[in-house]
Copies of this chain bind each other. A is one copy, B any other.
Amino acid sequence: MATAWEAMNVQQAAETRWEHEASTVRCKRLRPLTLSLSTPAATPSSESNSGIATPTFIRCPPRKAAEAAQQQQATAEAMPQAQVGSTRWNPTQEQIAILEMLYRGGMRTPNAQQIEHITAQLGRYGKIEGKNVFYWFQNHKARERQKQKRTSGALTLGLTTTTTIAAASSTAKGEGEGCFFKRKCRSWALQSLDLEEEERSRFQADKTLELFPLHPEAKEER
């Protein structure tokens, strides 16, 4: 559990590894490198969690400390082979392509339903979970912002190389919906619905969700 999710991270990814070409040279720049100076007083030590039985499927958590490992029961799963060990989602080319398309289309913080839909769709190309979609947008958005900041800082020209991107940050706040947890709640509450795209319209109808069509935040400021 804890993550059962992870547990089944199958990824079927059999297909080729997908090169991220889609995004074209993503960030390339030097990584600020975070510096791990940490603090003088910082003592990582601790750790806590002592060994715990790891569920057969390897979930992601395992990281440090002893492995206790005795967990027999090894993968009682039927297809032992499959990707058993992967811990994190590894998007396929198609998945990335779709996500980027959506992003370019203006989507920044999809809400629960949107995520469900997207996940359902992307699921056709490989194993995926809602959280992956969520994180993808979060990260993509953040990194774009970051990149831009870096760029602008360097250039200083303020030419707004990518005005479009700017929109991202502004949008986020504007409406309160997309919120993160929202989807969580939502999922908690009801998850089943996934169907086809049609469903979307249904939602729309009763939930007043506006359609995508840009026009985004007219509201902006606060």
From A211, which residue of chain B is reached at the shortest CB distance?
Answer: B58
Do A13 and B186 touch (CB < 8 A)?
no
Tell whether, in the assembled complex, residue A43 and residue B61 are in contact, meaning their CB atoms are under 8 Å apart: no
> A102 and B199: CB pair below 8 A?
no
Q: Which of B1, B40, B117 contacts A200 (CB 8 A)?
A: B1
Interchain CB contact under 8 A, B204 and A166: no
The verdict on A163 contacting B41 (CB below 8 Å), with A3-B185, A14-B54, A199-B55 known, is yes
Copies in the complex: 2
B residues less than 8 Å from A19 (CB atoms): 48
Nearest B residue to A44, CB-CB = B22
Question: Known contacts A24-B41, A39-B152, A63-B10; is A208 also within 8 Å of B107 by CB?
Answer: no
Asked if B203 and A49 sit within 8 Å, CB to CB, the answer is no
- Note all chain B residues with C-beta closer than 8 A to A22: 38, 42-45
Cβ-based interface call for A154 (8 A): no
- Beta-carbon contacts of A105-129 to B below 8 Å, as 1s and 0s? 1110111111001100100000001
Rounded to whole angstroms, the CA-CA distance of A196 and B59 in the bound complex is 13
Contact status A51-B12, CB under 8 Å: yes
B117 and A57 contact, CB distance less than 8 A: yes
A5 and B200 form a contact (CB under 8 A): no
A-B contact pairs, 8 of them (CB 8 A): A11-B63, A13-B67, A22-B42, A49-B106, A54-B102, A59-B212, A66-B177, A183-B184
Known interface pairs A12-B51, A48-B164, A56-B197; 19 further A-B residue pairs with C-beta atoms within 8 A, sorted by A's residue number: A1-B112, A9-B63, A11-B63, A11-B65, A13-B49, A13-B54, A18-B47, A19-B48, A44-B166, A52-B101, A52-B207, A55-B102, A55-B203, A58-B111, A59-B107, A59-B114, A59-B216, A184-B187, A190-B191
